[in-house]
């Protein structure tokens, strides 16, 4: 090989080596300046104070509730369950499930020729973008439910440390809803996740059944990407509804929901029961 050829080969090798080093250096600088990848999660572990719906104990509790007739809510809800489509859509997701379970006609199309509730139809009080950014308060949930042809019995557990609804009244409402063999009523709870040893704060979800002997309540969590549905003791759930919402400074609680009827004696009785609690109605 001639001296000239050797020189050209050396130059090419040097150039290739230099380019490789330069490329590596640029890649290192680029990676260093990129933001770290965001953390992602596939669900969270259910805290020990809660019993997974899918566990052996959870299945036994559900079987006994079905046998005792205290899982009527679950039977109506189970065919309509879905999960919230946005992290802040727990209120919308819960309400859409209940509206479909109670067979409320939205009277406007969902897809094609079909009328059916999903979160996108629940934008009559606040825009979906607003709810996506801020979530939903107790009062906003009640108002949205009324706008969509439901009779609403809102129950705040306490206000300014003063008890408004006793645990006994909560249990009484649980029994009434979960044993409603006609499937005319449903319950949604508004609670603080931290009180259940979960991450996050305010949350809405429907109730599926009540196991009176053990005091366990089935919460059908609409954020199933985060936690599965679970049984929680009624004492714990009652306490979880006491903390105030940071957005409003008002307490949380639960809703008993019923489809409006054109002319129904049972609806009149229900509305009379609601009006007998003036302190609750004044809060919303």
- C-alpha distances (whole Å) from 108 to each of 84, 123, 152 are 21, 13, 22
90 is catalytic: yes
Residue pair 179/66 in contact (Cβ under 8 Å)? The answer is no
Give residues with Cβ within 8 angstroms of 19, minimum separation 6: none
Catalytic residue among 65, 90, 178, 192: 90
Q: Report d(CA 142, CA 151) in Å as an integer.
A: 9
123 is catalytic: no
203 is catalytic: yes
Catalytic residue among 173, 180, 209, 221: 221
Q: Report d(CA 43, CA 236) in Å as an integer.
A: 22
- C-alpha distances (whole Å) from 222 to each of 66, 78, 132, 207 are 21, 12, 15, 11
Per DSSP, the three-state class of 208 is strand
Kindly tell me the sign of the dihedral angle through the C-alpha atoms of 271, 119, 194, 178: positive
Catalytic residue among 65, 173, 180, 203: 203
Query: Known catalytic residues?
Result: 90, 203, 221
């Amino acid at each position: 090989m001639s001296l000239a050829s050797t020189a050209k080969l050396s130059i090419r090798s040097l150039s290739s080596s230099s380019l490789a080093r330069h490329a590596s250096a640029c890649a290192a600088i680029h990676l260093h300046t990129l933001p770290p990848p965001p953390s992602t999660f596939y669900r969270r572990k259910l805290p020990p104070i809660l019993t997974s719906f899918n566990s052996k104990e959870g299945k036994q509790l559900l079987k006994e509730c079905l046998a005792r007739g205290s899982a009527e809510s679950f039977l109506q809800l189970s065919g309509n369950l879905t999960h919230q489509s946005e992290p802040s859509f727990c209120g919308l997701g819960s309400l859409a499930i209940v509206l479909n379970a109670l067979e409320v006609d939205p009277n406007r199309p969902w897809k094609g020729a079909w009328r059916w509730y999903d979160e996108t139809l629940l934008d009559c009080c606040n825009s979906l973008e607003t709810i996506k950014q801020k979530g939903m308060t107790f009062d906003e949930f009640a108002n949205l439910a009324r706008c969509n042809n439901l009779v609403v019995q809102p129950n705040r557990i306490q206000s300014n440390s003063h008890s408004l609804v006793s645990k006994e009244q909560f249990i009484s409402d649980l029994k009434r809803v979960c044993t409603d063999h006609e499937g005319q009523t449903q319950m949604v709870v508004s609670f603080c996740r931290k009180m259940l040893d979960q991450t996050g704060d305010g949350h809405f979800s429907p109730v599926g059944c009540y196991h009176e002997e053990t005091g366990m309540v089935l919460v059908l969590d609409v954020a199933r990407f985060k936690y599965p549905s679970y049984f929680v003791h009624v004492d714990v759930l009652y306490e979880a509804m006491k903390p105030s919402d940071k957005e409003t400074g008002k307490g949380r609680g639960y809703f008993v929901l019923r489809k409006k009827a054109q002319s129904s004696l049972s609806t009149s009785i229900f509305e009379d029961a609601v009006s007998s609690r003036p302190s609750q109605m004044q809060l919303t």
